[in-house]
Structure 1
Amino acid sequence: MTGYFILLALVAAAGSLLWLLGNRGALLKLSLAALLLGSAGYTLQGRPNLFGAPAKPDTAAPGLSFARARHVFFGEFNASERWLLIADSFSARGKHAEAGGVLANAVKHYPGDLPLWIGFANALVEQGRGMTPPAQLAFARAEAIAPGHPATGFFRGLAQARSGEPQAAVNTWRKLLANAPADAGWRPLVEDAAAAFSAQPAPPRR
């Protein structure tokens, strides 16, 4: 029964997201149908939990948190933070659908806000316990707002790791590191994440 409610919440979030991205009418109905099928597969299959008790030891990254990582990329004081803090409070109590609802409302009001879209994508990942079609759409929107911004790649990597694809996550992070300046303030965070999932050394700093 819990999986059923998660599925409904995911499809509802997907509908809101598709509406925001401009899908209307028959296209919206077809997109929702596809997402319903895809989300059902994710709900039934399940995904390992990156934060908390993981299904597999090698999918956990102890010490990582969305809030701490978010502050590395965007700082602690910005216009998005009040929304994100409310969502954090819900997520901390396991109310991931409510967290997603808060951020779905936030991106509706501020459609060009990068931290909010990344937060929304993270909430959808939490809700689906891994990368889902709605989360992929949210990450795509974040990428469209600020192409190449390292925060989008970092959190997409976390979603990949949580979805049971640690090597894909490492590849995503290593690509970020390969193009990062040596003094980038976020670089140590990405290096630590890559090291947690791979025995290979990180690319040398330039």
Structure 2
Amino acid sequence: MTGYLILLGLAALCLLFLFWRGVRGATLTLSAAALLFGGAGYALSGSPSLEGKPVAERPALPSPLSLKGAREAFYGRFTWLDQWAILSEGYAARGQTADAAGIYRSALREHPQSGALWSLYGNALADHAGTLSPAADFAYDRGIALAPEHPGPRFFKALALLRSGDAEAALPLLDALAEEAPAGADWRPLVEGARSLARASVEPQAATGS
């Protein structure tokens, strides 16, 4: 228990430090997400008082993970999407990930051509499965096909790849988004932060393989 309290304290201190240094909005959201990734891994497999031993492989994707800040950065606030997204996020926050995905499935019956809805459905499916499942992958690809010029569906697929441990596949998508992102876009810091995480994961692997 002490280890978890220390972990929570360190995470809070990191966020306070970033806030004090002027980090706000999407960048702070991504920083919180990164801390959540590490904390989830510790919560799943961390046992500092026990003798070290191999552990069974677990899904790399924390489930559920709130992506509200990223959703707002890419798709805006107070839009027609909110009536579905807020309801779905409420279910996800209570751990009812199947119901969270079901909300978007219902929404898509009314708006089957919405690339944004398909990408958010992909997020919900990935959270429910604990990884980038075939169903989530299909939803992301459908969103990309319907809105090929919009950064949202491509970003959320790249993020799901990254969160599932496939940084190598995520990096090309993030590189392309970073190149086309306008300087003042709300979502640009999210792309740059995710790309930094992907590169940090891929580069050590490349060095080991060379």
Structure 1 gaps of 5+ residues are: 1-48, 201-206
Letter in 2 for 1:97: A
Give the superposition deviation at 1:51.
8.3
Q: Where do 1:118-137 residues align within 5 Å? A: 118-137=119-138
Structure 2 gaps of 5+ residues are: 1-35, 47-59, 202-210
Distance 1:194 1:92, change over 3 A: same
Give the superposition deviation at 1:115.
2.4
For the residue of structure 2 that corresponds to 1:53, the secondary structure is: helix
Q: Hey, what does 1:183 align to over in structure 2?
A: 184
Q: Is 1:114 matched up with 2:115?
A: yes
Q: Hey, what does 2:197 align to over in structure 1?
A: 196
Letter in 2 for 1:131: L
Give the superposition deviation at 1:184.
2.7
Greater Cα radius of gyration, structure 1 or 2: 2
Superposed CA deviations along residues 108-128 of structure 1, whole A, max 9, x for unmatched, are 111122322111110000011
Q: Contact (CA 8 Å) 2:61, 2:131: kept in 1 or not?
A: no
TM-score of the two chains, using structure 1 as the length reference: 0.64
Which deviates further from its counterpart, 80-89 or 114-123?
114-123
Coordinate RMSD, CA, aligned: 2.7
Taking the aligned partners of 1:93 and 1:56, their CA distance within structure 2 comes to 22
Distance 1:111 1:60, change over 3 A: closer
Q: Hey, what does 2:73 align to over in structure 1?
A: 72
Q: Which has the higher contact order (CA 8 A, sep 6+)?
A: 1
Aligned match of 1:53 in 40, 50, 66? 40
Taking the aligned partners of 2:61 and 2:95, their CA distance within structure 1 comes to 18
Taking the aligned partners of 1:115 and 1:51, their CA distance within structure 2 comes to 28
Taking the aligned partners of 2:83 and 2:191, their CA distance within structure 1 comes to 25
Q: Hey, what does 2:23 align to over in structure 1?
A: none
Distance 1:50 1:97, change over 3 A: farther
Letter in 2 for 1:161: L
Taking the aligned partners of 1:51 and 1:165, their CA distance within structure 2 comes to 16
Q: Hey, what does 1:14 align to over in structure 2?
A: none
Q: Contact (CA 8 Å) 1:80, 1:113: kept in 2 or not?
A: no
Taking the aligned partners of 2:182 and 2:103, their CA distance within structure 1 comes to 35
Q: Hey, what does 1:168 align to over in structure 2?
A: 169
* Runs of 4+ with >3 A deviation: 49-52
TM-score of the two chains, using structure 2 as the length reference: 0.63
Give the superposition deviation at 1:102.
1.0
For this pair of structures, how many residues does the alignment match?
149
